[in-house]
Amino acid sequence: MNVFPIWLRPLGDLYRVRVDTVEHAKWLLDQLSRSFVFKTAAPLVEAAETSACSFEVPLNPPMSRAKLERLLGAIPEVEMMMGPE
């Protein structure tokens, strides 16, 4: 798989993750579920005017903001971007 961008937006007790396509989002969720005890995320929401979609990851003591960012940063196919998405 080629490198693809993801946009992270902190929203209090969760992170919104926006991905350029549904296929990349599903692949990323699968990678996250293999990497740690990541079993919950809000459903994928597809953007109406683009191919992008997003999901939300709850933050809690086992999954801190820093740990999630490190985990995403360790996936070679992911280019993390912080943004208003």
User: Which band of pLDDT confidence, cut at 50, 70 and 90, is reported for residue 59?
Assistant: confident
Q: Which long-range contacts (CB under 8 A, 24 or more apart) does 5-12 make?
A: 5/79, 5/80, 5/81, 6/72, 6/78, 6/79, 6/80, 6/81, 7/81, 7/82, 7/83, 7/85, 8/69, 8/72, 8/80, 8/81, 8/82, 8/83, 9/82, 9/83, 9/84, 9/85, 10/65, 11/56
Contact by Cβ (8 Å): 19, 9: no
Q: What is the pLDDT of residues 20-30, one digit of tens each?
A: 888 998 899 88
pTM for this entry? 0.78
Residue 12 has pLDDT above 80, yes or no: yes
